[in-house]
Chain A
């Protein structure tokens, strides 16, 4: 018998990549405006590859493909991969299956930042960086930093439990502030609420290009951290005796995953469910080693969010559903099916 350590097998990675590609093609060719499918694909090849291809589309149609559909699909890929990878990392670092990327207060902090930005009309300014995005990013990272300080002050060993409890306390405090501000500024509630439900509305490529560098670096670091997460699974004491620098590893993983989440939240709002369900689905399908979970979560998260966004913008076309509603609506039953299949297997 050949001994092969746990890893994301090449066949799984290729299969996952093909599914992501399929989701992207589907999301590109389907939309409220009827554009010839072949033309959409030719235009995409022409724009994204060195090969010059005549798409045969009108200027308006070319603009729809290049300025609306492609950036939206690209943003869906990045946000989906980011949230799923961060969720898988949090579940490993905190040895908690209920952990999601918003565990340490990112959602509450990002939400407070966005609320402040909406109330002060910071989002109305023109430029590459939107005020709401900057405020949400700053709020999300601040909340994690405060959670970390509170958790370490409460327990110098920085145990996962103390950090989770600190996250609960900080999130509650930030949510209370958020609610207070919203009550005092009722005219902005609709706008704020829409942001809370998340969305991949884009203005050209700005959002995608803002997220791209952070996402690539952080996702790559986490993709190679699966083994470290497997070592952490045996508990701090044993992991330390195996030679892992537990404290340092936990700090690096939490910082990278939080940076990734905060960046995603800044451009897409609070998209629920992806960071929790995707890693679990991957675990049920591909085994419980993080060496497989993290890379497969990147692919499944990316493909899943692109498909959810496709549903969000087509189901009630021309109106759009908040993507957070779609991720939960389709994700929950899908997870139940996977769970049942895995249990019966």
Chain B
């Protein structure tokens, strides 16, 4: 079953075309990662899928056109983890995560015990329960990111959009956050569409990659198909070595120290994916 079908998506902002007719299909329970250099339109595509930015073309969530859904209905199906979430000063973790219940509540209503139960279970799953009464602004980067993800999970949607979920996190926290998402993806069949800069992590966690360049789909497929040296050199303008270690595709920057010719020599033991 298809979770998201995007056909000929065009996004124009103030006369500049950011997406030029993008086609995309995301299956239910799939993790799709959108990769691409800065300015390729990754976040724009994600926001178009979420309905946060106007687009032309056809966008379907399940069997329904995105435009036919009310904001409330949309938020019951699609949750979004923004790249730079706004954290209101003085707001506590519990109250912040409870904001995720908005789409399930009447405009003048407060959360009931059922809503608190949902959030409590998520806080426990994400090891945030002891932090429930801490101010979000006092949390570490990893804790804060888990809190934002918890708010999105509190929406109880089947689709989760993640905009650079590991940016600004150290290596340990990157693994922690992605493992947490991976578990949700595996256990609950959550459909995930993420944008990511770290190509190795993107390839490791996603079922499929879409490489965007200048607002167009440049490549699509498995990590092995998309993360190739020519693709990366062409679209990122980066010199990289791509290696395979088991199922993992490693993308390593090739650093050439000044006046060093030896460092550019290929490693004879390297399994090159050119």
Tell me if A227 counts as interface (CB < 8 A to partner B). yes
Q: Complex Cα distance A203/B202, Å?
A: 73
Tell me if B194 counts as interface (CB < 8 A to partner A). no
Partner pick for B52 among A234, A241, A283, A291, CB 8 A cutoff = A241
Q: Complex Cα distance A237/B43, Å?
A: 13
Q: Cβ of B119: which chain A residues have Cβ within 8 Å of it?
A: 3
Tell me if B75 counts as interface (CB < 8 A to partner A). yes
A240 and B52 within 8 A (CB): yes
Partner-binding segment picked from A33-41, A104-112, A243-251, A305-313: A243-251
Q: Complex Cα distance A240/B78, Å?
A: 12
A234 and B110 within 8 A (CB): no
Tell me if A302 counts as interface (CB < 8 A to partner B). no
B64-102: which residues lie under 8 A (CB-CB) from chain A? 70-72, 74-76, 78-80, 82, 85-92, 94-95, 98-100, 102
Tell me if B120 counts as interface (CB < 8 A to partner A). yes
B111 to chain A minimum Cβ distance, whole angstroms, is 6
Question: What are 28 A-B contacts with C-beta separation under 8 Å?
Answer: A1-B130, A3-B119, A3-B120, A3-B132, A6-B94, A6-B95, A7-B110, A227-B110, A227-B111, A233-B91, A234-B86, A234-B88, A237-B82, A238-B80, A240-B71, A241-B50, A242-B99, A242-B155, A243-B74, A244-B71, A244-B102, A245-B70, A249-B107, A287-B90, A288-B90, A288-B91, A291-B95, A291-B110
B110 and A289 within 8 A (CB): no
B94 and A230 within 8 A (CB): no
Which chain B residue has the least Cβ–Cβ distance from A233? B88
Total chain A interface residues with beta-carbon distance under 8 A: 31
Tell me if B3 counts as interface (CB < 8 A to partner A). no
Q: Cβ of A241: which chain B residues have Cβ within 8 Å of it?
A: 50-52, 75, 78-80, 82
Tell me if A210 counts as interface (CB < 8 A to partner B). no
List the interface of chain A (C-beta within 8 A of B): 1, 3-7, 221, 224-225, 227-228, 230-231, 233-235, 237-245, 249, 283, 287-289, 291
Q: Cβ of B94: which chain A residues have Cβ within 8 Å of it?
A: 3-6
Q: Complex Cα distance A243/B51, Å?
A: 11
Which of A1, A5, A233, A241 is most buried by chain B, counting CB atoms within 10 A of its CB? A241
Q: Complex Cα distance A234/B123, Å?
A: 20
Q: Complex Cα distance A198/B220, Å?
A: 68
Which of A1, A230, A234, A283 is most buried by chain B, counting CB atoms within 10 A of its CB? A234
A245 and B95 within 8 A (CB): no
Q: Complex Cα distance A243/B89, Å?
A: 22
B96-135: which residues lie under 8 A (CB-CB) from chain A? 98-100, 102-105, 107-111, 116, 119-120, 123, 129-130, 132-133
Beyond known contacts A231-B102, A238-B80, A243-B71: 5 more, CB 8 A cutoff: A1-B129, A5-B98, A237-B82, A244-B102, A245-B107
